[in-house]
């Protein structure tokens, strides 16, 4: 499996070249009910080195001059902050050019010192917060033991306060949490992100997405915040370098 995939036409990051620091069977601290990658068999909060930065440097230098992208983004086969060498990976990418570097993260490890240090090197953090309480965290995100709602919220607030670059809060709305938009909006007002990204699983997922009317209603609860939604945002056109690597991270079974 390659460590670089895409570019991805992203409604949040425009043309985004994906970096996968896991690059193996899905490994995550969550097991979200809507995850497009299926159930999490390797559920962990242990930081590990999954790929070497040498391998990443080789994979990235092969494609970096062939693509025009707006962001290089850590995402892929699980939670990227689980990679103990994330900071070194960011340094390697910086050494190869001036493209801004982003991360899509589930925020579950933000209270860890080494994770905060790695995150501080980025240009854009997109942090997930789908729920306003512990009960819904267990129902929707199904975290590994030891991860609690209070620790996640605390971690998000601390990282947000210490981070000087762009910070977005991403919220995936499904049937189970659509009645909690007002609570989540209040939390967002406390966190004060630069942007709130309201999502619903429009891509392949075991869970049915909310319709555009439901998302519009949810958006209205976030008045006063800078909000983008998956239904309204434009997606750029991109040419994918390797279709198999792309589909592994963004499955579209009907294309197989
Ligand atoms: S955090 Fe992301 S990768 Fe992990 S289970 Fe949830 S949706 Fe899937």
φ and ψ of 212, to 5 deg? -65, -30
Rg of the Cα atoms in the chain = 17
**Domain residues for 209?**
4-255
User: How many residues in total does the chain contain?
Assistant: 256
Whole-angstrom distance, CA of residue 208 vs CA of residue 192? 29
- How far is the centre of ligand 1, averaged over its atoms, from the C-alpha of 185 (Å)? 22
**How many structural domains are present in the chain?**
1
pLDDT digits (tens, 9 = 90+) for 15-65: 999 999 999 999 999 999 999 999 999 999 999 999 999 999 999 999 999
- How far is the centre of ligand 1, averaged over its atoms, from the C-alpha of 65 (Å)? 30
- Ligand 1 and 27: CB distance under 6 A: no
- How far is the centre of ligand 1, averaged over its atoms, from the C-alpha of 192 (Å)? 23
User: Could you give the strand order of the β-sheet that contains 227-229, starting from the edge strand earlier in sequence?
Assistant: 4-10, 14-20, 71-75, 101-105, 124-128, 166-172, 195-199, 227-229
Q: Among 11-15, 123-127, 222-226, which is the least confidently predicted range?
A: 11-15
- Ligand 1 and 78: CB distance under 6 A: yes
Atom of ligand 1 nearest to the CA of 77: 3
CATH for 170: 3.20.20.70
pLDDT for res 185: 98
- How far is the centre of ligand 1, averaged over its atoms, from the C-alpha of 26 (Å)? 9
**Considering the chain, what percentage of its residues have pLDDT values greater than 90?**
88
Atom of ligand 1 nearest to the CA of 28: 4
């Amino acid at each position: 499996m390659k460590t670089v995939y895409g570019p991805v036409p992203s409604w949040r990051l425009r043309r985004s070249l994906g970096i996968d620091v896991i690059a193996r069977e899905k490994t995550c601290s969550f097991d979200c009910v809507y995850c497009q990658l299926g159930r999490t068999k390797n559920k962990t909060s242990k930081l590990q080195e999954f790929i070497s930065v040498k391998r990443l440097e080789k994979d990235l230098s092969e494609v970096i001059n062939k693509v025009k992208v707006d962001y290089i983004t850590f995402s892929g086969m699980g939670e990227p902050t689980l990679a103990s060498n994330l900071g070194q990976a960011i340094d390697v990418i910086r050494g190869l050019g001036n493209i801004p570097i982003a991360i899509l993260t589930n925020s579950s490890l933000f209270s860890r010192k080494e994770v905060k240090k790695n995150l501080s090197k980025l240009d854009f953090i997109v942090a997930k917060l789908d729920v306003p309480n512990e009960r819904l965290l267990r129902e929707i995100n199904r975290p590994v033991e030891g991860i609690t709602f209070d620790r996640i919220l605390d971690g998000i607030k601390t990282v947000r306060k210490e981070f000087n670059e762009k910070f977005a809060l991403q919220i995936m709305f499904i049937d189970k949490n659509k009645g909690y938009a007002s609570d989540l909006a209040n939390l967002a007002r406390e966190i004060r992100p630069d942007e709130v990204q309201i999502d619903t699983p429009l891509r392949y997922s075991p869970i049915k997405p909310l319709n555009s009317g439901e998302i519009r209603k949810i958006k209205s609860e976030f008045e006063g915040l800078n909000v983008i939604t998956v239904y309204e945002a434009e997606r750029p056109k991109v040419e994918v370098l390797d279709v198999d690597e792309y589909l592994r991270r963004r499955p579209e079974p009907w294309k197989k």
